[in-house]
Amino acid sequence: MITPAQFRAARALLGLSQEEVAAQAHVSKRTVVSLERGRPTLNATENAVMMALIEAGVLFTPAMTGEGPGVRFARDPEA
């Protein structure tokens, strides 16, 4: 499960607006806002936004022992 903070961080890392993420995921801006605020959404909707962000170039990292979940570039953005 991706946390609201991870959704916000992924969007910020990519430099995308909520509107841009919504367009790429084929959902409404309100849906993106809801995900970023931790409001309940359908799993299919959450997956659509997650996949749009992954396709845009981020990698979601799971919580590890002693570390929380995170997000990073899937590849070097300078390459």
pLDDT on residue 48: 97
pLDDT on residue 79: 59
pLDDT on residue 63: 87
Q: What is the dihedral of CA 50, 52, 53, 58, to 10 degrees?
A: 100
pLDDT on residue 57: 95
Q: Which two tokens stand for residue 59?
A: 């990698």
Q: Where are the domains of the chain?
A: 4-73
The number of beta carbons lying within 10 Å of the beta carbon of residue 19 is: 11
pLDDT on residue 78: 66
Residues 19-70 pLDDT 10s = 999 999 999 999 999 999 999 999 999 999 999 999 999 999 988 878 899 9
Q: May I ask the CATH class of domain 4-73?
A: mainly alpha
Q: Does 75 score more than 90 pLDDT?
A: no
